[in-house]
Amino acid sequence: MAGSSLRQEGKRTVVGWIRDRFPTTPWVDLTRKAIETDQRQMPRSHAEKYELKTIWYWYPLYCLGGISFVAFIILTITGIILGFFYVPDGTYQLLGPEDDVTNKAWQSMLYIMNDVPFGFIVRGMHHWAAHIMVAAVFLHMCRVYFTGAYKKPRELNWLLGVVLLLLTILFGYSGYLLPGNNLSEGAANIGIEMTRATPFIGDAAATLLWGDIGTLSGIYILRMYWLHVFILPLVATVLMILHMALVWIQGVAEPH
Ligand code: HEM
């Protein structure tokens, strides 16, 4: 017994010794590669070309467009619920418990936060999904840029993306104005002044967009509300569907 196991060990050692010096596996691999690359009729797939075991393991950043879209869906659902309770009226009135000068928009925010069941959670979800969407859209744009996915034939989808980025920022800005608090007013004043600085049509554009120029009237909240809940969602939904339809038609780009 002992003699045969020794013989076996010697065999293994000899075979091992030869294998160490004349490895066979790489030659087999080379043959397989030659057949797969030179003889094949089909173009190599992305996973084959870059020798990836799974694409998702290596490319989590390719999910950022999808994350932007999921955030938008969450914003739509929570936004619809908030719309049941929010009052888009920013005009100052004597409304508070001790005849405070305040506005109905801010009062409705207090109502959502303190009295509506789960209201503060729905508002919190809307708030954080908005933050996540802005970050995801920006990082998605960076991913597209650094993988060179904006190049031919995807130039049009890049331009569509630029418009989507602007819409996302406008969503954030118009939403920030809706609570009717001091922060909203500060941001609205900056917006009014920026609109008025437009050459030639500044004052007219400011009156149209904000309802007034110079002084901040509560009308601006109604205008921004209509932009935030109707015009922007309509345009953004159409463009997002178009954007993702183009990805579907053209396929996701391989890195250059
Ligand atoms: C609301 C915002 C956006 C949504 C929901 C969205 C959604 C998507 C989705 C789901 C994809 C598939 C691949 C992936 O997820 O990475 C994609 C690809 C793409 N997106 Fe966006 N996107 C948005 C904004 C942008 C922006 C701001 C840009 C650039 C300025 C952009 C340019 C592109 C391009 C060029 C592709 C094709 C990439 C490829 O083929 O690899 N998108 N987008």
DSSP 198-244: STTTHHHHHHHHHS-SSS--THHHHHHHHIIIIIHHHHHHHHHHHHH
The residue whose C-alpha atom lies closest to atom 16 belonging to ligand 1 is 62
Please work out whether the CB of residue 232 comes within 6 Å of at least one atom of ligand 1: no
253 compared with 85, residue with greater pLDDT? 85
Q: Is residue 34 part of a domain?
A: no
Q: Is residue 123 part of a domain?
A: yes
Residue numbers of the domain that contains 159: 61-250
Say how many domains are in the chain.
1
Q: Is residue 228 part of a domain?
A: yes
pLDDT digits (tens, 9 = 90+) for 98-108: 767 789 999 99
Q: Which atom of ligand 1 is nearest to the CA of 165?
A: 27
Q: What per-residue confidence (pLDDT) applies to 111?
A: 97
- For 38: left if phi > 0, alpha if psi spans -120 to 50, otherwise beta; the answer is alpha
How many Cα atoms are found within 13 Å in the side-chain-facing hemisphere of 58?
A: 10
pLDDT band at 198 (very low <50, low <70, confident <90, very high): very high
Classify burial at 249, counting beta carbons within 10 Å of its beta carbon; exposed 0-12, middle 13-18, buried 19 or more.
exposed
pLDDT digits (tens, 9 = 90+) for 183-197: 999 999 999 999 999
Q: What per-residue confidence (pLDDT) applies to 15?
A: 81
Please work out whether the CB of residue 240 comes within 6 Å of at least one atom of ligand 1: yes
The residue whose C-alpha atom lies closest to atom 24 belonging to ligand 1 is 161
- 108/214 Cα distance (integer angstroms): 26
Distance 246 CA to ligand 1 centre (A): 10
Q: Is residue 239 part of a domain?
A: yes
Q: What per-residue confidence (pLDDT) applies to 18?
A: 81
Please work out whether the CB of residue 222 comes within 6 Å of at least one atom of ligand 1: no
Distance 230 CA to ligand 1 centre (A): 23
Nearest alpha carbon to residue 107 among 96, 121, 118? 96
Q: Is residue 33 part of a domain?
A: no
pLDDT digits (tens, 9 = 90+) for 100-159: 778 999 999 999 999 999 999 999 999 999 999 999 999 999 999 988 889 888 999 999
Please work out whether the CB of residue 85 comes within 6 Å of at least one atom of ligand 1: no
Q: Is the pLDDT of residue 48 over 90?
A: no
Please work out whether the CB of residue 239 comes within 6 Å of at least one atom of ligand 1: no
Q: Which atom of ligand 1 is nearest to the CA of 162?
A: 30
Please work out whether the CB of residue 224 comes within 6 Å of at least one atom of ligand 1: no
Q: Is residue 31 part of a domain?
A: no
Here the CATH number for the domain that contains residue 182 is 1.20.810.10
Ligand 1 mutation pick, 138, 157, 243, max ligand atoms within 8 A of CB: 243
Q: What per-residue confidence (pLDDT) applies to 1?
A: 45
